[in-house]
Every structure is written in C-alpha cells, then in structure tokens.
Amino acid sequence: MVKVLIVDDDPDFCYALCRIVGRLGHETIVTDTLAAARNAAISSAFSLVLLDVGLPDGSGLDLLPDLKALPLDPEVVIITGAGDAQGAELAILNGAWSYIEKTASAKEISLALSRALQFRGERLKALGHDKVTHLNREEIIGASPRMNRVLDEVAKASACDAGLLITGETGTGKELFARAVHKNSCRGNREMVVVDCAALPETLGENLLFGHTKGVYTGADASRDGLILAAHRGTLFLDEVGELPLRLQKILLRVLQEKRFRPLGREAEIYSDFRLIAATNKDLDQMVEAGRFRKDLLFRLKSLHIELPALRYRGGDLKILARHYLDHYCEAQSIDSKGVSSDFTEVISAYSWPGNVRELAHTMEHVVIAALTSPIVFSSHLPPAIRAAVARAGFTGERTATGRLEQDSEYGNGPMPPLSKYRDNILAVHEKKYLKDLLSRSADIHSACKTSGLSRSRLYALLKKYGISAKQRKGAAA
C-alpha cells in the first residue's frame, strides 16, 4: 500500500478518484488548494500525486517544483480538462509523469495510475538509494534534494557510453560534473581531453581537433595529433559547445557519426573511439531556431542531458560550500579555520549568487584575506558589492510588502504568471542592479570578472542582456 495525494477542488471527481485508488489498494489524502497540498506534501511521504491544473489559489503546475524538490519526489499525474492539449503538453514539459482527462473512464484512470506506480517502483529499485553513496564524487559537494537528483543522473550517465550534454549557468561546475561522469565510467582510467570551444579559432579549429601531417603548411615542421585522437578510448569534453562555429559543427557531426576523421594533409582516415560529453550555458534549442546551431548536432549531443541547478536553488548546500571554501583558503594561507557569525550566514543566504559556486569560491577567498587576523568572519568581510546587493534587495522587499495593493492591481483579474517566470523576473531585477554596482566599484573588466566569478564572455553577455554599458565602470570616461 502506498499514499496517494489528490489535489482537486471538484468534490465529485475527488470521490471518484478515491474509489479508483481504493480499489487499487492504496490510501488517499484529498486537498482542494495549492496551499493545503504543499503542506500535505511536506508533512507526509506520497508515492503519487494527482494534481488538477485549475485550483482556487493558482495553477497546479506551480506546485511541481516543490514536489520535485522533495527527498523522494513522488510521480505526478496532471488532471486536465477534456481536449486540453496545451495543458497536457505543459504537464509533461514541467516534469509530470503523465496526464489524465477528467472525462476519462475509470478503467483508463486506473491504468494510468497503475503505470505511474509501476514506473516509480522500478525507478526506486534502479536507484537503490545507495548509488550516490558509492559514486566517486570528484570533489562535488552538497546533499540537497536537487543535488542528489543530479548525482543520480551522474550515476546513470556513468553506467553507459552515450553522448551527454551538461547545461547550467556559468559557475555551476559543468566541467567538474563531466569529470565525475568520466571517472565513474568504463573509460575512467583513460584521458578526458578538454576542448574550450569559446577559445577555438575558426581558422585553426580543424587543425587543433584533427591534427596535421608534416609539411602540410608553412611552419608544420612535424606531424601533430589532434585532440580527437588524443581522446581515443577516453572522453572528449567540448566545453562551451554553443560557441562552436557552424562550419566546425558540420565537420564535427560527421566525426560523431562515423568516429573517423582525416588529419590535414593525410589521405587515409583515422579511427578514434571516444565518448563525447559537451557543456554549455546557452539555450541550444533557441540557437537552433535562430540558425546558429545545427539541429542534427544537438540531437547527437543530447542523447543524455543533465541540467545543473543554480546555487540559489540548492538550499542548504550553500552553507556547506561556504564552509568548505573558507577552510580551503584558510589552509592555503596556513592559518587556523575561522568561525562564522550569524550575520555572515544571513547575508550569504540572502544573496542570489549569479556567478554560482565559482563566485562563492572567489568570495570566500576574499573573506579569508579580509579577515586574516580575525578568528570569526562577519558580513563586513564580504565584498561591498554583495552587501550592497543584499541591502537593496531587502529594501525592495519592504517596499513590496507595504505596496501590496499596487502589486495586486498589476495582474487585475487576469491570470497570475507561472512561479518560474515570476522568479526569473525578480532575479533579472537584482542581477541588473548587481551588475551596475559591480561596474561602479571595479577599475576594469578584469577586476569585475574576478570579483563576480564570471568569465569575460559571460559578463559581456549579461551586460548586453540588460543594456548596460561597460563604460559605467569605476574611473571610466563618461
């Protein structure tokens, strides 16, 4: 017997669902609002959630992220209206296992629920609840529900040889996770060859990837193996694959299909047996639509896909990581480990960390140096840009609370935006403020990159996104 949570405000339909679930031998709990469902999901472990899209206090889809964040996230079956194709599509795209229509027969509903529970049983059996423990983490730190799910995906990717695409914001640790997959795979005792696609010149890219023979061009005094051959029997890691020029994308596609290539100046092809892992912080689907990335190459890259969560979504991992980097940099400075004040914890918890783990690591190095003679770190040891961003966010929060009527009137009688979009909008406001503050306190782009933990290309991309001129930096000409 398992527990099933039914979230629907139609009493008759809930009664019918309870009867169907009861005949399958399972226990049911019924709620009719998002708020009640959220409380029920936190207080009790459910194997299956039947979730209506249209609820009195919002869309059922808004509850999906909360359900997925649970330690043993339940399977979710979305309840849609008759012929609601868009609702069904949204359900699947938002992580639901399946959907049922309210007009479905008892037999159809029973079959859908049985399949969902069967899938859950197989999923839990496959995980074994100890795979993460036995996985060689390769310095991956964290135990939040989101991170445990990512580690489960790492374990699955390590057990096969299919192409893998790792996506995530700058600083989330894409190369670190790629190395974890490589080290835990059957190729772990061979090389993982890293190719920085952002630094790959279009004119020399083919030469670097495929190599050349002696004398093929002026200055080619000796034959040279390319990076693809260097990855033979190992892993080829294409970092920032979204930066790969279209011409090289076409050539690479054939290599991935055939595992054969021809070095410059050589007639015969060479075979290289490698596993491909690629990573990017870009939306490749959007790039395909814009004609800047090949659709057929994306299919090849995306046999498996791991999406790394931003640090702001990793809950308690933030404090664990901060402690780790504080200890690391204290050891590097040959000083004793430092205590952490409550105000320091409050500020780092309130900050959004747009540069993610990389920014956190650089920040903790700054803190250790700023607090070199102090046994305890305080919020005053944090960079001014971070403290200013948190202070501004707190002020904005107070204004929002006191101006609730104005905020409510923004939506009128229209639909509320999805929670994910609301979060993105809020994040965008604070990211823009952070970037302006960062530039005003930085002498040049190099120091801005060092402070924020962002790469130069990522920083320029964010500045362009928010319409901020790099000339706004400290000391720049007006």
Q: Is residue 399 part of a domain?
A: yes
Domain boundary among 71, 106, 126: 126
User: CATH number of the domain that 9 lies in?
Assistant: 3.40.50.2300
Claim to verify: residue 333 and residue 298 sit in the same structural domain: no
Claim to verify: residue 304 and residue 393 sit in the same structural domain: no
Domain boundary among 257, 286, 309: 309
Domain boundary among 275, 309, 343: 309
The pLDDT of residue 475 is 54
Report in angstroms the alpha-carbon separations of 428 from 106, 282, 329, 425. 46, 17, 31, 5
Q: Is residue 331 part of a domain?
A: yes
- On the question of pLDDT at 322 being above 50, the answer is yes
Claim to verify: residue 173 and residue 289 sit in the same structural domain: yes
Claim to verify: residue 141 and residue 62 sit in the same structural domain: no
- On the question of pLDDT at 474 being above 60, the answer is no
Q: Return the higher-pLDDT residue of 448 and 357.
A: 357
Residue with tokens 């639909």: 415
Q: Return the higher-pLDDT residue of 5 and 67.
A: 5
Q: Is residue 437 part of a domain?
A: yes
Claim to verify: residue 138 and residue 287 sit in the same structural domain: yes
Claim to verify: residue 108 and residue 41 sit in the same structural domain: yes
User: What is the rounded distance in angstroms from the CA atom of residue 242 to the CA atom of residue 284?
Assistant: 7
Claim to verify: residue 152 and residue 292 sit in the same structural domain: yes
Q: Is residue 320 part of a domain?
A: yes
Claim to verify: residue 119 and residue 149 sit in the same structural domain: no
Q: Residue 87 forms beta bridges with which residues?
A: none
**Res. 476 pLDDT band, cuts 50 70 90:** low
Nearest to 206 by CA among 257, 238, 249, 260: 249
- On the question of pLDDT at 377 being above 80, the answer is yes
Q: Residue 54 forms beta bridges with which residues?
A: 59
Q: Is residue 74 part of a domain?
A: yes
The b-or-e profile of 379-389 (16+ CB within 10 A means b, else e) is bebbbebbbbb
Claim to verify: residue 41 and residue 181 sit in the same structural domain: no
Please give the share of the chain, as a percent, with pLDDT higher than 70.
86
Q: Is residue 166 part of a domain?
A: yes
Claim to verify: residue 423 and residue 447 sit in the same structural domain: yes
Which range, 296-305, 421-430, 439-448, 464-473, is most confident? 296-305
User: CATH number of the domain that 258 lies in?
Assistant: 3.40.50.300
Taking only the tens place, the pLDDT of each residue in 119-161 is: 888 777 766 544 444 577 778 998 787 888 898 899 889 989 9
Q: Is residue 477 part of a domain?
A: no
The pLDDT of residue 412 is 43
Assigned token pair, 344: 């320091």
DSSP per residue, 222-241: S-EE-HHHHTTTSEEEEETG
Q: Answer for the pair 149, 317: CB distance below 8 angstroms, yes or no.
A: no
270-271 vs 260-261, strand pairing mode: antiparallel
- On the question of pLDDT at 381 being above 80, the answer is yes
Q: Is residue 410 part of a domain?
A: no
When divided into structural domains, the chain yields a total of 3
The pLDDT of residue 126 is 64
Report in angstroms the alpha-carbon separations of 13 from 3, 8, 24. 18, 8, 17
Taking only the tens place, the pLDDT of each residue in 51-80 is: 998 888 888 888 888 887 776 788 999 987
Please report which residue ranges of 84-226 form alpha helices under DSSP H.
Answer: 85-93, 106-127, 131-134, 145-158, 174-183, 202-210
Claim to verify: residue 423 and residue 293 sit in the same structural domain: no
Spatial neighbors of 91 by CB under 8 A, at least 6 apart, are 53, 61, 78, 80, 98, 99
Claim to verify: residue 374 and residue 444 sit in the same structural domain: yes
Q: Answer for the pair 301, 309: CB distance below 8 angstroms, yes or no.
A: no
Mean pLDDT over the full length of the chain: 84
User: What is the rounded distance in angstroms from the CA atom of residue 77 to the CA atom of residue 69?
Assistant: 16
User: CATH number of the domain that 368 lies in?
Assistant: 1.10.8.60
Write out the residue range of the structural domain in which residue 112 sits.
Answer: 3-126
Q: Residue 236 forms beta bridges with which residues?
A: 193, 276
Please give the share of the chain, as a percent, with pLDDT higher than 90.
45
